[in-house]
Chain A
């Protein structure tokens, strides 16, 4: 696929709507039981509007979108992923992960990626480097 990719190409978009209980399942899967993700009363007590998604869950979606979009899902392909967490992610709201090829050097492809819920960019300046 690398031969076909060129700078400026979009990678296939990933759309996921995490359900209300997704943060509980992610907490179990990851071991991160920070109550801001799973306890509404606690989240509100620390000034959040409601429970929020784990940033690393959204980073997991960014990794999934890049592996799927660039390397047919091959888990060996992703060599580096760097993200900045900015907006807070909310359950029960669609997440759209988009990416654009930033550079191609031989078998190394770098993709700029964003994860957003509407206008709220929860992850931005994400850079994925893949070897394909």
Chain B
């Protein structure tokens, strides 16, 4: 069986996302989070945040433009029809707040085959405009029948 591993180690161009207040509110409402620090500037500042703060999982919004091209890369060559999102990990540091410009890079860490399935492991790293570490992500997709 020959799973293509040419893309291991490949990095994709960094993307930068500017965090907006209404986008944070939209995300928080869909998840059902009602803490006012996600909607109200005064509440956020009173709680010690620089501005209205994003819920941790808002990372999917600002990291997606970086991970998307990696997933669809011809060199990675994932078979989407047989793909599932297998696992996901995030490690957070500095919270993302309104006005932050968050730059994310994506890299292919591993591609391997196990029990007839292909495992495609990507990592993202997001930092803000001050160079502060925001979040690291590990994204694992599994393709059946490789």
Among residues 67 to 87 in chain B, which have CB atoms less than 8 Å away from a CB atom of chain A? 81, 84-87
Which residue of A25, A73, A82, A83 contacts B30 across the interface (Cβ within 8 Å)? A25
Q: Smallest CB–CB gap between B141 and chain A, Å?
A: 10
Complex Cα distance A28/B90, Å? Answer: 22
B19 located at the interface, meaning its Cβ lies under 8 Å from any Cβ of chain A in the complex = no
Interchain CB contact under 8 A, A80 and B90: yes
Complex Cα distance A81/B91, Å? Answer: 7
Interchain CB contact under 8 A, B61 and A29: yes
Interchain CB contact under 8 A, A75 and B87: no
A49 located at the interface, meaning its Cβ lies under 8 Å from any Cβ of chain B in the complex = no
The stretch among A3-11, A55-63, A101-109, A113-121 that forms the contact with chain B is A55-63
Complex Cα distance A30/B85, Å? Answer: 16
Chain A: number of interface residues, binned into ranges: 20 to 34
CB-CB < 8 A to B107: which residues of A?
none
CB-CB < 8 A to A93: which residues of B?
none
Interchain CB contact under 8 A, B81 and A46: yes
Interchain CB contact under 8 A, B56 and A82: no
CB-CB < 8 A to A26: which residues of B?
30
CB-CB < 8 A to B60: which residues of A?
30-32, 56, 60
Q: Smallest CB–CB gap between A35 and chain B, Å?
A: 11
The stretch among B1-9, B32-40, B116-124 that forms the contact with chain A is B32-40
B55 located at the interface, meaning its Cβ lies under 8 Å from any Cβ of chain A in the complex = yes
Interchain CB contact under 8 A, B92 and A78: yes
Beyond A67-B56, A73-B35, A78-B92, whether A29 also contacts B26 by CB under 8 A is: yes
Complex Cα distance A64/B23, Å? Answer: 17
Which residue of A46, A59, A75 contacts B38 across the interface (Cβ within 8 Å)? A75
Beyond A22-B30, A57-B31, whether A85 also contacts B84 by CB under 8 A is: yes
Listed from nearest, the 9 A-B pairs whose CB atoms lie closest are: A82-B89, A73-B35, A60-B57, A60-B31, A29-B30, A84-B87, A29-B27, A63-B57, A80-B91
Give me the interface of B with A, judged by CB distance under 8 Å: 23, 26-27, 29-33, 35, 37-38, 47, 53-57, 60-61, 64-65, 81, 84-92, 95
